[in-house]
Amino acid sequence: MTVQGGIVAAGGALGPVCFTKKRALPMNELEMFLSAWEREAESTLKLLRALPATQYDFRPDADGRSLGELAWHLAEGDAYMSYGIDTGRFAMDAKPPNIERPRTVGALAPGYERIHREAVARIRKLKPEDLDRSVPFFTGQPMPIRDILWGMIISHGIHHRGQLTLMCRLAGGQAPGLYGPNREEMAAMRAGASAT
């Protein structure tokens, strides 16, 4: 591992992978969340940019979401959860601004990026002590903001991104490696290692 520009990085054939920013003071939990969310958003953008351009309506399950619909659900998760926290209310009739789904694969990544920026701006209004505060969730039951952030934004997003990764492959695309190399990236690494 090396420190490059204040970032702790591990080098490899694919270049540096950033894990955490070097900090003089320890992060509070809200900063930890925002840092983790930013890393996950970059992985989501990487996948959205790799989706096969002509496969928006690809649907391996006739009753399930299409590739485009599932991809946009990642933006919806960021939007609806941050909007509910910001307004102090989760309700089926509470619609975040700018949430209309793009209708082409090429518009998904820029749309997600915009929605994510708006969601981050809402969450940045919080103070670390707000994580202990509860908000009535869709069921009417109070849910701590901490649980919404980590469970309904981070874990929920990772879950659906995993589904989208598989759909990308099924639709004929090459899903990028997110937490490690994909098979094509691994093959290139092996080929590079054997050539030296």
Residue 126 Cα distances to 36, 76, 145, 169, angstroms: 16, 20, 10, 38
Report pLDDT for 15: 38
Within 13 Å of residue 27, how many CA atoms lie on the same side as its CB?
12
Report pLDDT for 6: 39
The segments of the chain whose pLDDT lies below 50 read 1-18
Over residues 162-172, the pLDDT tens digits come to 999 999 999 99
Question: From the centroid of its chain, how far is CA 110?
Answer: 13
Report pLDDT for 118: 98
* Percent helix, percent strand, percent coil in the chain, to nearest 5: 55, 10, 35
Q: For residue 12, what are the contacts with CB-CB under 8 A and spacing of at least 6? A: 189
pTM: 0.85
Over residues 63-105, the pLDDT tens digits come to 999 999 999 999 999 999 999 999 999 999 999 999 999 999 9
Report pLDDT for 128: 97
Contact (CB, 8 A) for 131 and 29: yes
How many angstroms separate the CA atoms of 50 and 46, rounded?
7
Domains of the chain: 27-175 (1.20.120.450)
In SS3 terms, 6-63 reads as CEEEECCCCCCEEEEECCCCCCCHHHHHHHHHHHHHHHHHHHHHHCCCCCCCCCCCCC
